Structures are given as C-alpha cells and as structure tokens.
Amino acid sequence: MSSFNHLGRLVSGLSLVAKEIAKRSKALETGDFETLIASTAKKVVVSVTDLSGLTKGKVREFSPPRLNGSVAYFNNSPDLVAEPTPAESQLRNESSASDGVVTPSVSVQGKVLEEDRITKEEIGDLDRDNEGNAGAGGVAVSPAETVAAATVLKRRKPRERRVPSSPFTRALGFAGLGAGLAWGTVQESAKRLVFGAPSSQEKQSAYSPYLSDKNAERLALALCRMRGAALKLGQMLSIQDESLVPAPILAALDIVRQGADVMPRSQLNQVLDAELGADWSIKLTSFDYEPIAAASIGQVHKATKDGMEVAMKIQYPGVADSIESDIENVKLLLDYTNLIPKGLFLDRAIKVAKVELSRECDYELEATNQKRFRSLLSDAKGFYVPLVVDDLSCKRVLSTEFVSGIPIDKVALLNQETRNYVGRKLLELTLMELFVFRFMQTDPNWSNFLYEEATNTINLIDFGAARDYPKRFVDDYLRMVVACANGERDVVIEMSKRLGFLTGEESEAMLDAHVQAGFVVGLPFSNSGGYDFQSSNITHSVSSLGATMLRHRLTPPPDEVYSLHRKLSGAFLACIKIGAVVPCRELLLEVYKDYQFGEDGENEMLSGSIS
C-alpha cells in the first residue's frame, strides 16, 4: 500500500508540471498550441529532468582559467597590460598541470573564492583541517600560514547555469523537483521491497524511503540551481543538527553551503545593463567575470575603479520577485517530507523568513545599513567596515570597497593569543550591537567576518540581514540574560513571559527544559575569568533539551528572536570553532553597568565604547 501511495505522489508531482504549463501559458488562452509546444519544450527538458534527477541533464562547467580570460579591461590606456603577473602565471600553470583535485584558496571579500588545484601529496595535510569547511563553504589562508582544506563530504565543482528568473521557469523547477523526489521515493521503496530496509543503526533514514541519499542530494542540487529564497532556506536548514533535521538531508545540504551555481556571462551582462545602464563599464577600469563568490541571492565579482579594488555584488534576476512563491513551494516540499517538527511552528518561521529575505534583496537598504555600521564603528578599535561605492550601486547591485582577510573559522589555525583576541572581539561586537546600538547584523556566516592578521582587524561585510530591535524588547532580554548567567529561575520565567517565549500555561516539563536551556546558554557568563568555549558542551546540551521543548511548546518565539538567536548562536559556535578563551562575564557586566533601562524613545543611542 505504501508503494502505491508513493506512486500516487509521483503522479501528483508530474501533474504539477502540466498544471504550471497550463496555468502560466498565454498560448493556451489563444489556442496557439504550436507556439506553446515550441516555447516550453526546452524549459521542460532542462528544468524537469535535471531538477528531478530523472536524467543527468547537461551542465556547462567552468573551463580552466585562461590568461586574463575572465578579466575585461574597459579603458584603452597604454599602461594597462593584458599579461598576467609572474605569480598569476605560475598559479595558472600549476592549475593546468594538476591532478584534478579541487579545493578553495584564499578568502577575501567574497565568501567562496577561486578554486585552485592541489596535488595528491598535499591531501594528507589537508584532511586534518577537514572540519573547517562547515560554515561558509570556503576556506582561506593568511600570508603567514600554509592553510588549505579538503573534506570527505561531497564537493561541487563550480557550475555555470542560467538562473530560472521568470515565475513560469521557477514554478516549473519546483514542480519538476517534486516529481523527482516522488520518483526517488518510489525507487527507494521498490529497492527496500527487494533487498529489505537498512537498519536504524546503519542509517537514520531507515524509517522513511523519502529520506534516501539520492533524494537528499537531488534536493540540494536543485536548490543550488534554483538559488534565491529556496537556496536561502536550504542554507538555514543546513546549520541544524540531527535532532531537528535527519542526517541524510544534513549531509546533502552541506553541498548547499558550498555555494550556488553562477550566472553565465550573457545573463550577467543583461543584469548589469538593466540595473546600471548600458554604459556601466565606462565607470570601471576592469571587471572580472569570474565570480569570487556565489551565494543564495547574488554573486560577487571583483573590479577596479579609479585605482581602488571594488567588490560588486550582483543579484540574480527574478529572485526578489519570487520570494513569496519560492517560500510557499519550499513549504509544500517540507510538508510533504514531514521533516519539520510541529514545535518549530513552521508557519511563523515562514512568515519571518519572507520579511527577512525581502529586506536582504534590497541592496539600497543594505547600502544604508553598511553606512550606518561604518559610522557606529568608526571609533571602535579592531573593526573595519568598507566604503560603499554609490555610483555603482542600486537596488539590485551593491558595490563596496574590496577588503581581504581570512574567515573567522580559519583563525583556529593561528596561535592561542590571536584566537582569544578574535573571540573576545566577536562577543564584544555582538553585545554592543544588541545592547548599545540595538542594531545588529544578524547573519552569522563565518565569512562575513574576515580577520586581517597584518592589522589585527576584523573586516565586516554583508549587511543585508541587519535590523533594529525595540528598546523594551532589549531591556527585558538583557534582564533575562543576566538572570540566566546568575541562575535565577524565577526571573528567567518572568522575563520569558514578558518577551513572549512562554504563555504561563506551560507544563512543568516545558518550564524545566526552558529554564535549563537558558542556564546552559548563560554558562559562559556565569563566572569571572576566561571561559574555554572548546571545552564546553553547550550545543549538545541545548539540543537534548530542545527535543522536550519541541514536544511541549505552546507558542512560537517572538519574531525578533529568529534573527537574534541565529546571530548569538553563530557567535558562540565561532568561539567554539577557534578554541577561544574569553572573559565573557566581564564583557557582559561592562555592558550592563552602563545600560539605561527605560521606555521606547528614551536613550535612543546609549553611549558605549569598545577597546
């Protein structure tokens, strides 16, 4: 019976394809069936078969780097020589003569950098740094360190494919993905009928034929091709642990973290012409068509303007207009898979995600956020926010000063003194953003924080997820954090009710789990002196309590918490990753003693400093 149910799902998935064609095609309305067939045949073949996994599809991969092949020079100045530097020549020659093993290299303004080739002899050294890939999907090396990384997980070669930009092609892509997942479920069910199901000890996916390795990989690769809100939600899911998302899905979503496919040059030029005007190139000296980063919403390219290196973030076409439909389609897939526990209140999370993604797609807003942070941190030692290049920025293109550095997770390879310094600065910044500015950059991606060893500075990038927090919320949240640090159960419960975490009708089991989770998170702030994050077991402890809270939770968290806790957990995970020892209680008390509690409208900007 189960197999017939899965077969029914396959038929339903395929019917979605036909429905989308019928619903969105003007040719059907006019009766021009010949035009309909001609205009949709290619889209059906590419989108349905490739996304569904029924066929492999044909992917145009990047060709090996050519000498200056990706860099366009726009000013015919005699001092612009099209020959590569000796270092570039050596690098590219080594690349073409390699064994074919790929790993990322130096990380700079973008999050995922050019991929260089390494020899087999280097693999042994790289394996020791395997865990460093779990975050931004890229790695980096400082000039003083020999750093590289390889992973036993599957890695994707960079792929160049057009972004599905119209409502029709995106809807068709999701329909094809749904059909592919249903087909994969039927295949897995048939396999289990013949060979038997794997043991639960062997695979966590044993209880569901949907959660097969092939289906998980099919889902991740489809998200990489679709990009936009779909990929963003996949990346959010990828940072969860197995208590929330099954292991096969997490393993496949690690592919998602490595970055999206990239736009071909023709589509990239179309976007630049539409956003900056057909004469955009006259404002530049050069532009590198090879992206240094490809993320969920856009990709980053390096350029030069008036002698300054510039990072240009260019949004994928159609992404902003498809947020609503993309998220609804992802929700349908999540409902179909039953991956998300009811205690997560998916509908509320989806609502918050739509608002956040809409803001992230507005690059004019991000430019304003970046300028605001640059002003707020202008006197702060140890931080730098790059300039915004206004005449190369608009709603879908954001150009900023290019900055370099290594992502925060790679600080783990430096000495203990440096690790402690960076960990302290991260927590100082996080506390200051929330309790001093009440304005926080909430994306904890490790590659948004680039440590520059030469200047002992953390370069901050990517402010699309920045947001304000209400004064009253911050007041009560600070009271709760201090109560968690001091182990004050009654205060934690009272502040949790005021903030909206609890209704007052919870069971004793829920209250105990909620309070204990607060105490665990408050542990770094509970005692004076340095707290060794790497020796802690915070994430495991919170995860074990999370299962109880998911079963007994009566209300979703307040909207402010989705972004806030994402940032706070990211700061903790970064300190754990780099093995920092940080005087957390001293940092908290320093903020607390200068904090002025009051109503909204009072103390609009509290005075504070960081050193």
Annotated active-site positions, please?
A: 443
**For the CA atoms of the chain, what is the radius of gyration?**
25
- Long-range residue pairs from 504-510, CB within 8 A, at least 24 positions apart, any chain: 505/554, 506/552, 506/553, 506/554, 507/552, 509/548, 509/552, 510/548, 510/549, 510/552, 510/553, 510/554
Is the C-alpha dihedral spanning 85, 306, 299, 386 positive or negative?
positive
Locate 267 and state its tokens.
């589509």
CA 331 to chain centre: 18
Pair 436, 593: CB distance under 8 Å: no
Q: State the DSSP code for 317.
A: T
Distance CA 577, CA 132 (A): 8
Locate 196 and state its tokens.
């038997």
**Count of residues for the chain?**
611
Crossing angle of helices 213-226/167-195, nearest 10°?
170
- Helix H or strand E segment including 117: strand 115-118
Pair 47, 209: CB distance under 8 Å: no
Distance CA 202, CA 406 (A): 38
Between CA 106 and CA 112, with CA 109 as vertex, the angle to 5 degrees is 55
